[in-house]
Amino acid sequence: MNLTSNYIGRFAPSPSGPLHFGSLVAAVASFMDARRNDGTWLLRIEDLDPPRESISAPARIIDQLNAHHLHWDGDILYQSLRQDAYSAALDRLMQSGLAYPCDCTRKNTPAVYPGTCRDKPPGTVGKPHAFRLRVDTPMISIEDHILGPQQWQLGKDMGDFIIKRKDALFAYQLAVVVDDAFQHITHVVRGADLLESTPGQIYLAGRLNLPVPHYLHFPVVLGDSGDKLSKQTHAAPVSNHDAVNNLKHSLGFLGQQVPHRATEIGKLVDEAIANWNVNAIPKRLAIAQFLRGS
């Protein structure tokens, strides 16, 4: 693995099921952008939330990536094995007064948390409790590589958000920030459904004195019903037998020049890397699946 590379990207699937067309597009986009930039591409399995996961999904995902010739560098990082690192980050935030316990129930809490437990004296918060990050910065802005300048008023848009859940599971927001830094990720390439998580992650990285990566959010794939493809909307797993076509569809969806004549998967991937043009990715938040060019 070339850790001196100026570009370290990653694909970070949650193993709620095998890859469907939408998650394959995420793998393809992050892989192609890393390889086009002579970068490293890492695989992180975000197995943080056992009740929502399928035990067989990590092995299926690995098999699907291999069948599609999307080969990662180095060892796979499993978030289930990273609990000590998340605990250490939470301890640091608690010690510096940047996080606090919260026993509010979901039922009595609006989407943007009003800070009810913020200033409760230590020991007066009931158990079980979650932990929230104190959000005090008014503005967060980034230059997204596709969507251009983005700006949020974090306190208003997100509020004090959860970093460890009441059920004792660490929240995605904390784990992703700790692990992007641990893996020295320089470029986060992911679907625009995660755009709204980005300001919180940038803020949290700042609180932990961790570097902030570059961001590129590509449009998410919508199914026939207009919802994002996901296991919940019964998106079909991509078949390893159709790997060549699946890759061509993914590239078409991402606005790329598709190597139509390539029939051998290795050649197809090489040509796609050579052709990869990040500026051709549609500057939209979502695109319907039927536009994928099948």
Rounded Cα gap, residues 16 and 10, in angstroms: 18
**Segment contacting ligand GLU by CB under 6 A, of 7-15, 50-58, 121-129, 137-145:** 7-15
Q: In the set 7, 8, 13, 251, which binds ligand GLU (CB under 6 A)?
A: 13
Question: Which of these segments, 6-14, 68-76, 212-220, 231-239, binds ligand GLU (CB under 6 A)?
Answer: 6-14
Nearest to 154 by CA among 193, 108, 196: 196
Structure tokens at 282: 């549609």
Q: List strand residue ranges (DSSP E) for 126-213, in order.
A: 130-133, 139-144, 148-153, 162-164, 187-191
117 or 171: whose CB is closer to ligand GLU? 171
Sequence-distant (≥ 6) Cβ neighbours of residue 204 within 8 angstroms: 133, 163, 173, 174, 177
Q: Tell me how far apart the alpha carbons of residues 26 and 196 are, in angstroms, rounded to a whole number.
A: 17
Question: Which residues, 30 to 49, sit near ligand GLU by CB under 6 A?
Answer: 46
Provide, rounded to whole angstroms, the least separation between the CB of residue 261 and ligand GLU: 32
Among 25, 90, 176, 222, binds ligand GLU (CB under 6 A): 176
Tokens of 125: 């918060």
Is 58 a residue that touches ligand GLU (CB under 6 A)?
no
Each residue 217-256 as x (binds ligand GLU by CB under 6 A) or -, in order, gives: ----------------------------------------
Amino acid, res. 244: V
Nearer to ligand GLU among residue 132 and residue 217 (C-beta): 217
Check residue 174 for interaction with ligand GLU (CB under 6 A): no
By the rule CB under 6 A, 190 interacts with ligand GLU? yes
Residue number with CB closer to ligand GLU (13 or 101): 13
Interaction between residue 14 and ligand GLU (CB under 6 A): yes
Least distance in angstroms from the C-beta of 147 to ligand GLU:
15
Does 199 participate in binding ligand GLU (rule CB under 6 A)?
no
Question: Whole-number minimum distance, CB 12 to ligand GLU, in Å?
Answer: 4
Q: 194 vs 285, which CB is nearer to ligand GLU?
A: 194
How many Å is the maximal CA-CA distance in the chain?
67
- Nearest CA-CA partner of 89 in 133, 45, 136: 133
Residue 12 engages ligand GLU in binding (rule: CB under 6 A): yes
- DSSP characters over 26-90: HHHHHHHHHHHTT-EEEEEE----GGG--TTHHHHHHHHHHHTT-PPPSPPEEGGG-HHHHHHHH
Binding site for ligand GLU (CB under 6 A): 12-14, 46, 176, 190, 194
